[in-house]
Structures are given as structure tokens and as C-alpha cells.
């Protein structure tokens, strides 16, 4: 059965230079993260490509470095470009995060499209 | 060489406040903490030291994502310190620092310090258990569960390095510093112990590509498996991200629970590691999930057995 798009948060619930984790498919842990950077919202699977797609935050919603310009995997410190998802430093150098497809409604609600419909 | 084990690990981080909160919540005690960093001590004085990554007093970074800047070993006495300085001074710079310690690098480029150990001897009991037909671990009327038990890290146990040449790295620690290999995971690397401890390992090396070079994890020993689960549960409840565990390793037999951290490596709670002496023969098995752990659990929210909850009972009646 096809999954429906899942609500993540309202647009105004994700401040600039902040990240948040979500569990849209009720896996029991966050599997998706959103980051707002330069006004844009970027959505990635919460799965480090280094080792079997392990969760990346070190604490709930803590996915960014101190400068707030990289996504960081708190397993081994791998750093990812927020816009492209490419690993720029660390154990998964040359690999990339998996982008998820977001839908922002006219009411400024952020939804995630069902898994399997990710962009590559 | 009477090297006892790691006295301290020094990290150069970008977010000192976050790392300080993390290490405090993990159970270490901040000492001399300010905006530039500080020391986070276990009960016996072994520690993690934080500094800003741009602090000019830190040894050079490894050039990878790793934030580990120095591993400081505690040794038995000044004589050992002198012997290490003489041995390593034959082919590399060995600096004597104002605090009396010495500083140099290993063959992989990891900065090393050696000092007369700061460990404060402690008198603490191990976790005590009762088992049928064995002498009582706890006398009558002494209960095993204490919800308020401190479950604090007692001592810095071990550090694990990703290294680009595990054989060469092992040769340095064994040949130059008197470490011994206690066991080996083929395809990963050796478990190593220095001469001044019986612990199964204070250093484990994992062969990786050069761009991964750095610290995989470090851990402090707790008083027993219950303390590992109790401290880990508290850590999860504070919002920290479990990575692997709880479980029990095969090699070393230590109970483990690993967490993500803002220090660019995993941070573990561990307890009940095997002790070995010269009579031990190192095992060697291919690296695999089965070789790595006897069993593995996964943390989940607490619940208790009982009748069905009201909602579930109601739903059943409606069908």
C-alpha cells in the first residue's frame, strides 16, 4: 500500500541555522532531518553513508557543527555540505546523504513524500 | 616499560559548551572549566580534556574529521618516563613539557604524552551478584537495585584508533613501548595492553583508509553491567543518541554501550573487562558481527507486564 505524505512541521517551526529530526514513519527513532540554511529548507535521511545508515545526531535535533554550515555525523565527525549532502571530511568522503522529497503547502506546512520517492 | 594506561585524552573541538555538557551528563566531573575548555575527570582522576580546536597549545590535528589531539599515558614513575624518553628519542623529537610530562608522536602521527600517572587509588566494591550454589555476593537484606546509584565512570579504560597501517602501528606500541597483543580481530586489528595493567586492552587498532585516521571511540570503566545499563539509560533519557548497545563483547568480555558524541567519535560505557597476564595466548578470529559481540540489546521505552491497557481492552470488546 502506498504511503501518504507525512507532516513534519510548520515552516515557522524551523529557524534559520537550525536542524530538526523527525520520525515520520513511526520507526521509533528519527529517520529524517531538516535544516534551514540561507532561507532554504533541506531534507535528508538521518543515515550516515559510512556505516549502514546509522543515525547522525548526538542529541535530539543536534545535526549541525558549531558554525552551523555543515551537517555533522556524531558517530565519527563526518561533515556534509548542507545543500548537496556531499561528505566533505571524514570516514564517508566521496559519499553523500540521501535527499528526501519535501512538499511545502500554501499554508507553509512541510511534508515529506513517501520513502522510495527520494531524489537521488 | 611500566605504562599503566591512558590518563587523559585531549580533544580540540569547535563547540566547547556542547562537549562540556555532554561529558558532564556522561558522568565526568568538570575541573577548571571555562570558555576555553577544561578537564573532565572520572573518580580516579583520569580524564578527557577539552580545548578549542584552534588552541595553539594543542598538538597539530590529524587532518581528518577526528578531534582527538593527544593521548596521555600514565606511567608508574620517573624512571619509566626517562626510559620512554630515551627509547623514543632515538628516532623522533621528544619534548619535555613544563608540567614534567613528555610529548612525542607515534608512527601513525598520533600525538602522545607520558606522565607519572595521576590516578588516585580508590577503594570501591565491584557489582555484587547472588547465584545458586555460589557464596552470596550480597549478604542477606542487602538489595541489589538502587535507583539512585551514582553509576559514575571510575577510570579511563581504553581508546580505539582508526589507523592506515595497523601492522606498523602495532609494531610501534609492541616494539618500542612494551605493549602486548592480547587478541586479534583479523581484518581489523590488535587489542593491545601495556605492561602496567592486566586489563585486556587499553588500545585497539582498526585498519582503515588514511582519510579515516583518528579516534573511533573511548570508554571509561564502570562498576559492573548494571551500572553500564543504568548510566546508559539515564544518558538516553537525557536525549543522547545510542549508537550500539547495550551488549557484551567477546574479546575482553566487557559489557558495552556506545553513544554518538559532539567530540567526533563514539563514547562508550563499559564494565567487567577480562584481565590477562603473561600466561595468556592471544586469539585471532576474522572480524565479524558475531566475533565482536556475545549478544546485543537495543534500548526501548520502559513498560511492565500486566493486563491489557484500557484502550486495548475496549478495542477488543468492540470486535
Tens of pLDDT, residues B238-268: 999 999 999 999 999 999 999 999 999 999 9
Q: Distances from the Cα of B260 to the Cαs of A7, A57, A72, B285, in angstroms?
A: 27, 7, 11, 27
Size of the A and B interface in Cβ pairs below 8 Å:
70
Record the cell numbers describing residue B57, joined without a space.
Answer: 597549545
Contact: A66, B212; criterion CB under 8 Å: no
**Most A-contacting residue of B218, B260, B287 (CB-CB within 10 A), to test interface:** B260
pLDDT digits (tens, 9 = 90+) for B119-174: 999 999 999 999 999 999 999 999 999 999 999 999 999 999 999 999 999 999 99
Phi, psi of B61 (to 5 degrees): -70, 165
Tell me what pLDDT residue A117 has. Answer: 54
Q: Which residues of A touch B238 (CB under 8 A)?
A: 59
Tell me what pLDDT residue B4 has. Answer: 98
Tell me what pLDDT residue B312 has. Answer: 59
Q: Which residues of A touch B67 (CB under 8 A)?
A: 77
Interface of B with A in 285-314 (CB under 8 A): 300
pLDDT digits (tens, 9 = 90+) for B13-62: 999 999 999 999 999 999 999 999 999 999 999 999 999 999 999 999 99
**Going by C-beta distance under 8 Å and a sequence separation of 6 or more, which residues neighbour residue B229?**
B246, B257
Q: Is the dihedral of CA A57, A62, A67, A68 positive or negative?
A: positive
Grade residue A118 by pLDDT with cuts at 50, 70 and 90. Answer: low
Tell me what pLDDT residue B313 has. Answer: 53
Grade residue B310 by pLDDT with cuts at 50, 70 and 90. Answer: low
Percent of chain A with pLDDT over 90: 80
Q: What is the mean pLDDT of residues A2-25?
A: 92
Tell me what pLDDT residue B298 has. Answer: 84
Residue B19 touches partner A, C-beta closer than 8 Å: no
Tell me what pLDDT residue B293 has. Answer: 87
Cβ atoms within 10 A of the Cβ of B33, count? 17
Contact: B18, A55; criterion CB under 8 Å: no
Q: Which residues of B touch A91 (CB under 8 A)?
A: 65, 162, 208, 211-212
Q: What is the least distance, in Å, from the CA of B300 to any CA of chain A? A: 9
Contact: B300, A79; criterion CB under 8 Å: no
Tell me what pLDDT residue B311 has. Answer: 66
Is residue A52 scored above 90 in pLDDT? no
Q: Which residues of B touch A62 (CB under 8 A)?
A: 18, 262
Q: What is the least distance, in Å, from the CA of B25 to any CA of chain A? A: 12
Q: Which residues of A touch B65 (CB under 8 A)?
A: 76-79, 89-91
Q: Which residues, in sequence order, are bridge partners of residue B116? A: B75
Burial of B107 (0-12, 13-18, 19+ CB in 10 A): middle
Of B304 and B156, more confident = B156
Q: What is the mean pLDDT of residues B89-111?
A: 98
End-to-end CA, chain A: 23
| Separation of alpha carbons B229 and B209, rounded Å | 33
Tell me what pLDDT residue B191 has. Answer: 98
Helix (H) or strand (E) holding B245, with range, is strand B242-249
pLDDT digits (tens, 9 = 90+) for B196-234: 999 999 999 999 999 999 999 999 999 999 999 999 999
Question: A66 to chain B: nearest residue by CA?
Answer: B15
pTM: 0.93
ipTM (interface pTM): 0.90
Tell me what pLDDT residue A1 has. Answer: 40
Strand pairing report for B102-105 and B95-96: antiparallel
Q: What is the mean pLDDT of residues A21-31?
A: 92
Is residue A120 scored above 70 in pLDDT? no
Q: What is the least distance, in Å, from the CA of A41 to any CA of chain B? A: 23
Tell me what pLDDT residue A3 has. Answer: 66
**Going by C-beta distance under 8 Å and a sequence separation of 6 or more, which residues neighbour residue A99?**
A42, A43, A44, A45, A85, A118, A119, A120
**Going by C-beta distance under 8 Å and a sequence separation of 6 or more, which residues neighbour residue A61?**
A18, A19, A20, A21
Orientation of helix B225-237 relative to helix B16-26, angle to 10° = 140
Amino acid at each position: 500500500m502506498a504511503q501518504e505524505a507525512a507532516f513534519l512541521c510548520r515552516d515557522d517551526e524551523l529557524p534559520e541555522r537550525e536542524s530538526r529530526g523527525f520520525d515520520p514513519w513511526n520507526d521509533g527513532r528519527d529517520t529524517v532531518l531538516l535544516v534551514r540554511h540561507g532561507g532554504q529548507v533541506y531534507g535528508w535521511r538521518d543515515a550516515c553513508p559510512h556505516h549502514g545508515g546509522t543515525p547522525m545526531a548526538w542529541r535530539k535535533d543536534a545535526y549541525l557543527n558549531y558554525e552551523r554550515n555543515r551537517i555533522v555525523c556524531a558517530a565519527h565527525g563526518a561533515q556534509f555540505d548542507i545543500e548537496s549532502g556531499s561528505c566533505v571530511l571524514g570516514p564517508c568522503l566521496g559519499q553523500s546523504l540521501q535527499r528526501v522529497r519535501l512538499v511545502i503547502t500554501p499554508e507553509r506546512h512541510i511534508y515529506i513524500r513517501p520513502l522510495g520517492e527520494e531524489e537521488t | 616499560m611500566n605504562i599503566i594506561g591512558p590518563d587523559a585524552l585531549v580533544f580540540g573541538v569547535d563547540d566547547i559548551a556542547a562537549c562540556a555538557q555532554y561529558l558532564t551528563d556522561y558522568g565526568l566531573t568538570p575541573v577548571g572549566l571555562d570558555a576555553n575548555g577544561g578537564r573532565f575527570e572520572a573518580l580516579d582522576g583520569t580524564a578527557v580534556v577539552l580545548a578549542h580546536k584552534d588552541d595553539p597549545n594543542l598538538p597539530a590535528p590529524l587532518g581528518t574529521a577526528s578531534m582527538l589531539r593527544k593521548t596521555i599515558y600514565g606511567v608508574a614513575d620517573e624512571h619509566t618516563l626517562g626510559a620512554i624518553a630515551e627509547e623514543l628519542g632515538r628516532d623522533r623529537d621528544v619534548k619535555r613539557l613544563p608540567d614534567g610530562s613528555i610529548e612525542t608522536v607515534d608512527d601513525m602521527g598520533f600525538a602522545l604524552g607520558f606522565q607519572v600517572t595521576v590516578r588516585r587509588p580508590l577503594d570501591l566494591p565491584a557489582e555484587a551478584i547472588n547465584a545458586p550454589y555460589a557464596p552470596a555476593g550480597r549478604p542477606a537484606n542487602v538489595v541489589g537495585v538502587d535507583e539512585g546509584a551514582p553509576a559514575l565512570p571510575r577510570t579511563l579504560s581504553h581508546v580505539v584508533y582508526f589507523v592506515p597501517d595497523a601492522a606498523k602501528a602495532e609494531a610501534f606500541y609492541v616494539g618500542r613501548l612494551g605493549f602486548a597483543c592480547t587478541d586479534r580481530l583479523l581484518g581489523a586489528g590488535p587489542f593491545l595492553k601495556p605492561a602496567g595493567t592486566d586489563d585486556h586492552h587499553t588500545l585497539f587498532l582498526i585498519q582503515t583508509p588514511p582519510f579515516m585516521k583518528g579516534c573511533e571511540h573511548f570508554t571509561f570503566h564502570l562498576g559492573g553491567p548494571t551500572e553500564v545499563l543504568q548510566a546508559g539509560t539515564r544518558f538516553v533519557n537525557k536525549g543522547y543518541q545510542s549508537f550500539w548497545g547495550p551488549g557484551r563483547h567477546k574479546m575482553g568480555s566487557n559489557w558495552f554501550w556506545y553513544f554518538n558524541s559532539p567530540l567526533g567519535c563514539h563514547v562508550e560505557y563499559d564494565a567487567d573487562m577480562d584481565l590477562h597476564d603473561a600466561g595468556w595466548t592471544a586469539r585471532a578470529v576474522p572480524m565479524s558481527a558475531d566475533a565482536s559481540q556475545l549478544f546485543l540489546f537495543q534500548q526501548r521505552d520502559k513498560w511492565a507486564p500486566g493486563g491489557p491497557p484500557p484502550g486495548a481492552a475496549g478495542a477488543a470488546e468492540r470486535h
